[in-house]
Structure 1
Amino acid sequence: MPDLAAVVILCRDPYLIAPFWSVVTGLPVVEQDQGRLADRSLGPAESVLLRDPHGQRPDIWISRADALPAPGRMHLDLVGDAEERAAVLEAGATVVRELPDWTVLADPEGNQFCLHPRHG
C-alpha cells in the first residue's frame, strides 16, 4: 500500500492560508518559502511547503488556484485536546458545527476540517 507523502490545499490567498495551516498542524513553512511569504513574492504557479523537519509527517503544499472546485478543496481530520482546539480557533478557524464526537471547523477561506478529541 502506498504511503501518504503530501496533502495539497488549494486556496485563493496562500499568504493567509499557509500561516494558518502552519499553526494548526505545527508544520513549519520551509525556509525558502518563509521569505516569499514575508515579502509577498510568490509567483503565480508557486506553492508554499509546510514540512516536518524530522520527516515523520506528510508534507502539506499550499497552492494558489484561481478557479477552485467547490465544495471540498480538501478535508483533513485532526486530533487535538482542548488547548490545541483553542489554538486552532485563535489562529482563525471558525466553528461550523459541534457533533457528539468531533467539531467541524473552517479555515479562513471556508475549507472545512474536523477536530476529534485526543483520547488517552
Structure 2
Amino acid sequence: MTTLHWKLVIDAADPHAQADFWARALGYAVEDHSALVERLLGLGHVPADVTVEAHGRRAWRDLAAVRHPDDPYEEESGTGLGRRLLFQRVPEAKTTKNRLHIDVHAGPGRDRAAEVVRLEALGASVLREVDEPGGRWTVMADPEGNEFCVQ
C-alpha cells in the first residue's frame, strides 16, 4: 500500500496572522517561500500584486504555511515535506462549527491549564471546559474562531 503525503489546509481571512499564531502555538516554523516568490517574480511568471512582505521577505499574499521544525523541506521553495498547516485566504467568513479540528496535547509533565493560559496570551479564546468519563479537555478558538482542543 502506498502512503500519501498530506497537509492540513485551513481557510483564513488573514493567512499570515493565522500562520504566526499557529507557529507560536505549536512551536512550528513559518515557511519561507521568498526564494521561490522572488524567482517567479524575476521570470515574470507572477505579478507583484499576488505577493506581500511578511517577516521582512516576499511571500504569497493569499497563502502562508507552518511546518514542524524537525521535518524536511524543499530549500528551493521553502515548502515543508512533513507535518504542515497551510492557510489560504478565502472571501467568506467562518459561519459554523468546524467539521475537523486540531487537538493540542500539553504533553507529559506539562499542565493543561497553563497551556490554555499561554494560548490565550497568543490570541486564542476558551469556548468551554469538557469533563467526561472519556477525559478532560478545553475547547478553544484560534484568533479567527476555528475550534481546537487542548488535552
TM-score (norm 2): 0.63
Counterpart in the other structure of 1:102? 137
Query: Looking at CA atoms only, which structure, 1 or 2, has the larger radius of gyration?
Result: 2
CA contact (8 A) 1:51 1:59 kept: yes
Q: Shift of the alpha carbon at 1:37?
A: 2.2
Deviating beyond 6 angstroms after TM superposition, the runs of 4 or more aligned structure 1 residues are none
Percent sequence identity over matched residues? 30
Larger RCO (CA within 8 A; separation ≥ 6):
1
Counterpart in the other structure of 2:124? 93
Distance (whole Å) between structure 2 residues aligned to residue 50 and residue 73 of structure 1? 21
1:49 to 62, 65, 68: 65
Q: Shift of the alpha carbon at 1:84?
A: 2.9
Distance (whole Å) between structure 1 residues aligned to residue 59 and residue 99 of structure 2? 21
Counterpart in the other structure of 1:78? 104
CA contact (8 A) 1:9 1:74 kept: no
Counterpart in the other structure of 2:85? 60
Q: Shift of the alpha carbon at 1:85?
A: 2.7
Query: Could you give the per-residue CA deviations for residues 37-88 of structure 1, whole angstroms, max 9, x where no partner exists?
Result: 23696555x3112112322851110111112563227511111133433321
Give 2:103's aligned amino acid.
D
CA contact (8 A) 1:30 1:50 kept: yes
Q: Shift of the alpha carbon at 1:31?
A: 2.3
Query: Could you give the per-residue CA deviations for residues 93-118 of structure 1, whole angstroms, max 9, x where no partner exists?
Result: 110001110000011111111111xx
Q: Any gaps of 5 or more consecutive residues in structure 1? A: none
CA contact (8 A) 1:51 1:58 kept: yes
CA contact (8 A) 2:139 2:150 kept: yes
